[in-house]
Structure 1
Amino acid sequence: MKKTVICTVVALLAGFALGIFCGSGVLSGTGGLVRATASAADSPLPATMNLALATGLPAPTSLPLDETDNTRLVERAGVVLEALKQKDYTALATLISPGKGVTFTPYSTVDPDRDHTMTASQIAGLASDDNVYVWGVEDGRGDPIKLTAADYFERYVFNTDYTQAPVIGIDNVQACGNALENVAEGYPDGRFVEYYFPGLNPKMEGFDWCSLKLVFEAAENDWYLVGLIHSEWTI
């Protein structure tokens, strides 16, 4: 079984050139992308490659973007994820919707009245931004989430290394807690790629699952990031 999976992974990597991922994946029949758990031998992309990745994707063709094709969507998601990992906000800014910016959702439920939105230019300057923003409200308590961008990203965006997520879903929510999963309603014109960990600590028996959804919308004949949705198990 392991040999078969590896062969399938190699074939897909050759066919779709998804070299931006540290692991490999196979498309499921429902359109979800399920990736085998990465081994300890997997090495992340070097930090010097992050900006090259953001600018080195094949340029959009003159043909209209095929919004039903997963290949370009997954490529863009992989570059966004690597930029998040490397904290390369300049590279990340080039992938954000120029018209809408990117909206941050800390607990699954997209809420335009509470979620915080940043423009691409604001994202580009995050490395030196020490301002405290209100990003939403804490689950179960309702207290406002007041954090710097660096602290918010560490807690509600890249709280774990999602480049090593064992499961990746395309337009398919992988897990639900007590928070409403309304990504389809929140982004009716969007598509999303979800990076999901069924659990981080085996002793927690799945009660520490978490995920990160990258939401994209088509613009200028390509996919641009419009939403970052963090989900996790909550009481």
Structure 2
Amino acid sequence: MKKSILLFLLMIAFITTACGNEKVNEIENEEVSNHVEEEQGIDEALESETGDIEKENNEDQQEVDDNVLVKEKADEVLQLLKEKNAKELSEYVHPEKGLLFSPYVFIKEDAVTFEKEIVQGFFDDHESYIWGTYDGSGEQIKLTPSEYYSKFIYDGPYEHADEIEFDNVKSRGNMIRNIKEVFPDSHTIEYFIKGTEEYGNMDWKALNLVFEKDGQGEWKLVAIVHDQWTI
């Protein structure tokens, strides 16, 4: 009888110990699992952060590359304008939007816009167009393309500009500058010529070349916007 009781007690002790060990193992396994999950979460967070940094760096580099490219294209366009080389100039024109001309930095809704093919014959076109209205008088600016070129495109030595600005958003005169509103995804290169003491520095002028990406992702000329002192 005593042996049976002793054996029974030993069995209970064994079972209790086994259950205790199993519980300990479960707790240890759970702690290990939690630790592994925590490490995985940290790794995923680091990978995500690294990916975001790389993406941001790539975007910054792309922006720098685009800015350099636009500046180079603007200088090339300026040279073609100086040479009156309309045929080669047309290759820079935006294929979908064409080329808009504005005599002042406030671009009106009815601004004259030429398609790429029309730009090719710009200086051979003897038709008079209404390019807007003169500041002050309000009279129509009715000129042939060549006449408009002399008054509102290459009306100064812009190849020797006193200042060259990239995306300059300030208005130099008292007229509202709405280039960015009309072309929100654009970059603008401004060639600025200072005024002279003889005219109280009011004879300053500027030429803005506006570029936007076309459907192929290439930067193309969408507008030539003139600027000068206005009343």
Give, as a single letter, the amino acid of the residue that structure 1 aligns with 2:206: S
2:176 corresponding residue in structure 1:
180
TM-score of the pair, normalised by structure 1: 0.68
1:103 maps onto 2:104 in alignment: no
1:164 corresponding residue in structure 2:
160
Q: Which secondary structure state, in structure 1, belongs to the residue aligned with residue 62 of structure 2? A: coil
Q: Cα distance, 1:205 vs. partner?
A: 3.0
2:200 corresponding residue in structure 1:
205
Q: Which secondary structure state, in structure 2, belongs to the residue aligned with residue 213 of structure 1? A: strand
TM-score of the pair, normalised by structure 2: 0.70
1:71 corresponding residue in structure 2:
68
Give, as a single letter, the amino acid of the residue that structure 2 aligns with 1:133: Y
Q: Cα distance, 1:126 vs. partner?
A: 1.5
Distance between the aligned counterparts of 2:177 and 2:96, measured in 1?
A: 25
Q: Which has the higher contact order (CA 8 A, sep 6+)?
A: 1
| 8 Å CA contact 2:211, 2:219 repeated in 1 | yes
Identity of aligned residues (%): 36
Give, as a single letter, the amino acid of the residue that structure 1 aligns with 2:133: V
1:146 corresponding residue in structure 2:
142
Q: Cα distance, 1:149 vs. partner?
A: 0.1
| 8 Å CA contact 1:213, 1:230 repeated in 2 | yes
Which protein shows a greater Rg? 2
Distance between the aligned counterparts of 2:218 and 2:62, measured in 1?
A: 9
Structure 1 residues 81 and 174, CA gap change in structure 2 (3 angstroms): farther
Which of the residues 99, 119, 123 maps onto 2:119?
123
The Cα offsets for residues 155-189 of structure 1, whole Å up to 9 and x where unpaired, read as: 00100111110100000146521211111111111
Distance between the aligned counterparts of 1:188 and 1:175, measured in 2?
A: 17
Distance between the aligned counterparts of 1:110 and 1:175, measured in 2?
A: 13
Give, as a single letter, the amino acid of the residue that structure 1 aligns with 2:76: V
Give, as a single letter, the amino acid of the residue that structure 1 aligns with 2:150: E
The Cα offsets for residues 55-96 of structure 1, whole Å up to 9 and x where unpaired, read as: xxxxxxxxxx93453210100000100000000000110000
| 8 Å CA contact 1:111, 1:186 repeated in 2 | no
Which of the residues 88, 92, 95 maps onto 1:91?
88
Structure with the larger helix share = 2
Which of the residues 213, 222, 230 maps onto 2:226?
230
Give the root-mean-square deviation of aligned CA atoms: 1.6
Q: Cα distance, 1:137 vs. partner?
A: 1.0
Give, as a single letter, the amino acid of the residue that structure 2 aligns with 1:228: I
Q: After the TM superposition, which parts of structure 1 deviate over 6 Å for at least 4 consecutive aligned residues?
A: none
Structure with the larger strand share = 1
